């Protein structure tokens, strides 16, 4: 005769707890998706654009200002190169600001 083994109560409780955790995780993901349903792929591409322009605009302004100084007051130093680097640093700081701002907004929304 075949003997039927029953699982112990502690094992059943572990399985039920694991199942409950998995359901809770999926429900949280679903709720998060509902809160952020307007953030599509275009939102991510837009963020790339913001970061790109946040770096590009100050860099181009720095180059233009440096070239103007080089033409107006010639010297043995390249002001265009110096302002290129300055604009790049300012642009990176600007991009960091935007990324942190959006990141903190996303984290704040997830905590609610």
| Contact of 90 with 54, CB cutoff 8 Å | no
Which is more confidently placed, 72 or 14? 72
Report d(CA 51, CA 47) in Å as an integer. 6
Residue 97 falls inside a structural domain: yes
Side-chain-side CA neighbours of 8 within 13 Å: the count stands at 3
Residue 100 falls inside a structural domain: yes
Report d(CA 32, CA 87) in Å as an integer. 38
Report d(CA 112, CA 102) in Å as an integer. 16
Domain span including residue 76: 38-111
Residue 25 falls inside a structural domain: no
Tokens at residue 91, please?
């642009």
pLDDT digits (tens, 9 = 90+) for 77-99: 999 999 999 999 999 999 999 88
Residue 98 falls inside a structural domain: yes
**Domains identified in the chain, total number:** 1
Residue 18 falls inside a structural domain: no
Residue 19 falls inside a structural domain: no
Is the pLDDT at 1 greater than 70, yes or no? no
Residue 2 falls inside a structural domain: no
Residue 24 falls inside a structural domain: no
Mean pLDDT (whole number) for 26-42: 77
Predicted model pTM: 0.62
Please report which confidence band the pLDDT of residue 29 belongs to, taking 50, 70 and 90 as the band edges: confident
| Contact of 74 with 107, CB cutoff 8 Å | no
């Amino acid at each position: 005769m075949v003997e039927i083994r029953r699982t112990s109560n502690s094992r059943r409780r572990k399985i039920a707890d694991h199942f409950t955790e998995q359901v809770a995780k999926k429900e949280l993901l679903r709720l998060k998706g509902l809160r952020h349903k307007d953030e599509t792929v275009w939102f991510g591409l837009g963020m790339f654009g913001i970061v790109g322009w946040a770096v590009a605009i100050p860099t181009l302004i720095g180059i233009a200002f440096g070239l103007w100084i080089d033409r107006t007051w010639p010297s043995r130093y390249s002001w265009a190169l110096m302002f290129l680097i300055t604009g790049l640093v300012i642009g990176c700081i600007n991009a960091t600001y935007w990324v942190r701002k959006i990141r903190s907004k996303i984290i704040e929304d997830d905590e609610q």
